[in-house]
Amino acid sequence: MLAKIRTTKFIRATLYYNEKKQSLEKAQCIAAENFVKDVEELTYKDKLYHLRRLTSLNDNVTHNGLHISLNFHPADQLSDSDKVQIAMTYMDAMKLGHQPYLVYSHTDVAHPHVHVLTATVQNDGKHLSQSWNYTRSKAIIKELDQSWHLVQSHEKQAEKQNLRQALKISYGESATMPALSKVLDKVLPHYKYTSLEELNAVLRLYNVEAYRGKEQSHLYQHRGMIYRVLDENGQRTGSYIKASLFNSKPTLDKLEKKFELNLAEAQRQQHRQRVTVNLEWNMAKKNMDLPTLKKALERERITMVWTEAKEGKKQNIFYVDHETKAVFDGNKLGERYDAAALHHRLAQASVQEEKQVLQHRQRHHHTIMRDL
């Protein structure tokens, strides 16, 4: 089991995120501890009122929400009752069991997981700043893994990241053919791309590119395909290898069949929604810029891959979801998520935040002057 702990500036946004998932039938609120009503009787307004009642007791707390996700391995067969018991044990051991908290079971990705939401302010108005401890959490997870016979997956995410780094090619450090073969065997059968551009978004993470040649070239006209190594700047380096020379024969004909199968996959819309929900969720946060957004998405195992603007072509962005293995071209994901829209929305949000800060200062100044 893997636990992710984060504080949020706006508890209402965190609650809305989970409630929105519930309205889309991608989550279910399965427990409400220390609330006046039972979970079945609580409305969204009830939940928000009770949580905001706590946060209102201490206006000095800037991060008033605590959002914890407990992630289980797909092999863990757990009922909702089991998940509630695990969440309650975890919260008690973290010395958070006295807080009003909500438990949501999410079904939007392949692995089962729950989100636990509470306020960082106690009934006496004191801040919970020291109540969660990452070292303590790690020890609790280890105990829960053993007592519930769970698959111990707390290091699997780091292992997957290390594997990607290990397979990344640096030209000249190893023989090109076996290095390329390892990357292609890792990517081609498993990731769900629907175009050559989407495939290359994944391959570039390993310094590899699938290339058809220019439209007027012999290679392109005869539907050829080569694979070549890129340097750290995305520029071609060294020699290339024809698709027909690999054991897997990743030719254009074979890839195009893969494009069609991936495009028709029943779960693609669900995978798309996971990416867009994570984008909307993180872009709603304050002080969000592209580097911060990139890091936030990486924590959810979604990588943003940018292509440089070339003559006659605009800059584009691709989203590679390593959790579901789905890849999305920003231009096809939706008009709110292409490169231009992303820049525009983040710039707008920055301007709006500056306006709000200025308005707050002006109101504060007005209040001071009025009281003099």
Domain annotation for the chain: domains and CATH numbers: 2-153 (3.30.930.30), 157-263 (no CATH), 268-354 (no CATH)
Backbone φ and ψ of 260, nearest 5°: -65, -45
Higher pLDDT, 87 or 163: 87
Task: Tell me the pLDDT band of 320, cut-offs 50, 70 and 90.
Answer: very high
d(CA 148, CA 133): 22
Task: Tell me the pLDDT band of 176, cut-offs 50, 70 and 90.
Answer: confident
Size (the chain), residues: 372
Which residue is listed with tokens 């030209």? Answer: 171
Four-residue CA torsion sign, 127, 131, 135, 138: negative
Share of the chain above pLDDT 70, in %: 86
Q: Which of 134-143, 209-218, 316-325 has the lowest mean pLDDT?
A: 134-143
Report whether pLDDT(97) > 80. yes
Task: Tell me the pLDDT band of 353, cut-offs 50, 70 and 90.
Answer: very low
d(CA 199, CA 92): 46
Task: Tell me the pLDDT band of 165, cut-offs 50, 70 and 90.
Answer: low
- Please give the average per-residue pLDDT across 244-270, as a whole number: 94
- Other C-beta atoms closer than 10 Å to the C-beta of 184 total 21
Residue 372 has a pLDDT of 52
Nearest to 237 by CA among 185, 170, 177, 187: 170
d(CA 362, CA 372): 15
Residue 192 has a pLDDT of 96
Residue 366 has a pLDDT of 55
Residue 283 has a pLDDT of 82
Task: Give the chain's mean pLDDT.
Answer: 86
Higher pLDDT, 251 or 233: 251
d(CA 340, CA 70): 35
Report whether pLDDT(115) > 60. yes
pLDDT tens-digit map of 15-40: 999 999 999 999 999 999 999 999 99
Residue 351 has a pLDDT of 47
Contact 353, 221 (CB under 8 A): no
Share of the chain above pLDDT 90, in %: 59
**What Cα–Cα distance (Å) separates residue 126 from each residue in 55, 66, 67, 100?**
10, 14, 18, 14
**What Cα–Cα distance (Å) separates residue 177 from each residue in 122, 172, 200, 350?**
60, 12, 18, 47
Residue 142 carries which side chain, given as an amino acid letter? K
Residue 318 has a pLDDT of 96
Report whether pLDDT(156) > 60. no
Nearest to 2 by CA among 142, 108, 130, 116: 142
Contact 318, 330 (CB under 8 A): yes
End-to-end CA distance of the chain: 58
Task: Tell me the pLDDT band of 234, cut-offs 50, 70 and 90.
Answer: confident
Nearest to 327 by CA among 185, 211, 234, 188: 188
Q: Which of 3-12, 95-104, 311-320 has the lowest mean pLDDT?
A: 311-320
Q: Which of 46-50, 97-101, 156-160, 284-288 has the lowest mean pLDDT?
A: 156-160
Name the strand (E) or helix (H) holding 47. helix 44-55
Backbone φ and ψ of 3, nearest 5°: -110, 135
Contact 203, 187 (CB under 8 A): yes
